[in-house]
């Protein structure tokens, strides 16, 4: 069939925009999120855009909820062709300030949620010779300061995607990983960090982005169609990645300067 897609974190932000981009092509969408009202709104917009589908509340930390969601896709859509592991949360804070609970929460959702999504839906994808689209972040490649738990979780998503790319080639299941930089989104709704100043700094970066979630969804659509594995939607992100590949130390030096500035700003705000 090749027109059935599952999206986690579809109740808002990038997940919703991905749903709408594929809906415009007439796709059937299986939408999940922890927010029921968000899902209902997305489904309404999907139908207006020319798609259809169903919603199911799902917390990606719970594997049994993901397997139940996969079962629902089989029952209602007869299978699945593309999965988008998009559900994620934001966090920040210097390593010394982050608690182990902050680490557990971040890894459970942003990394293990993706692992569990891939695991739960793999049998259906093997049947349909489908596609996996994992949403990581430029943080996976750039490791900015004061977000070590987020960086590690997202880097894990890239490593997982690389592993699956190689292993699933034999099954004719294709794999893509997306690393957006900051963009206008509601990621801050879930933000968890030790200081309010950190949240404000991240908020400024998100707001100042020239690129919207809809732009990113459209870029993903085009790059997946072109068969691209590593999808970098931001021009600046592509440039930064090219610099890091050529001269990593240059980037580390820049990040160290950024970390010093952040510390100074935090002290100033505290004072």
Whole-number Å distance between alpha carbons of 255 and 249: 10
- DSSP class per residue in 199-241: HHHHHHHHHT-S-BHHHHHHHHHHHHHTT-SEE---HHHHHHH
Region class of 108: left (phi > 0), else alpha (psi between -120 and 50), else beta: alpha
150 is catalytic: yes
- Give 60's Cβ-side CA count (13 Å radius): 31
Whole-number Å distance between alpha carbons of 62 and 58: 8
Whole-number Å distance between alpha carbons of 215 and 65: 30
Catalytic residue among 150, 219, 221, 252: 150
Residues designated as active site: 150
């Amino acid at each position: 069939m090749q027109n059935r897609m599952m999206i986690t974190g579809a109740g808002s932000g990038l997940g919703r925009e991905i749903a709408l981009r594929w809906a415009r092509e007439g796709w059937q969408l299986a939408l999940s999120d922890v927010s029921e009202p968000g899902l209902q709104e997305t489904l309404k917009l999907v139908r207006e855009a020319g798609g259809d589908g169903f919603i199911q509340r799902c917390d990606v930390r719970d594997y049994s909820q993901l397997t139940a969601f996969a079962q629902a896709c089989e029952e209602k859509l007869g299978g699945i062709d593309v999965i988008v592991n998009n559900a994620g949360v934001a966090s920040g804070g210097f390593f010394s300030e982050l608690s182990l609970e902050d680490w557990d929460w971040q890894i459970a959702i942003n990394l293990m949620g993706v692992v569990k999504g891939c695991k739960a839906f793999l049998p259906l994808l093997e049947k349909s010779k489908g596609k996996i689209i994992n949403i990581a972040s430029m943080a996976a490649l750039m490791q900015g300061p004061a977000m070590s738990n987020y960086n590690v979780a997202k880097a894990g998503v890239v490593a997982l995607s690389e592993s699956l790319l190689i292993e699933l080639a034999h099954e004719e299941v294709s794999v893509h990983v997306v690393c957006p930089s900051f963009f206008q989104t509601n990621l801050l709704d879930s933000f968890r960090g030790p200081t309010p100043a950190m949240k404000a700094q991240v908020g400024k970066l998100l707001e100042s982005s020239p690129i919207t979630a809809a732009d990113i969804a459209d870029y993903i659509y085009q790059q997946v169609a072109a068969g691209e594995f590593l999808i970098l939607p931001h021009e600046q992100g592509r440039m930064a990645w090219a610099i890091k590949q050529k001269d990593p130390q240059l980037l580390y030096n820049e990040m160290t300067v950024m970390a010093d500035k952040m510390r100074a700003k935090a002290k100033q705000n505290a004072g």
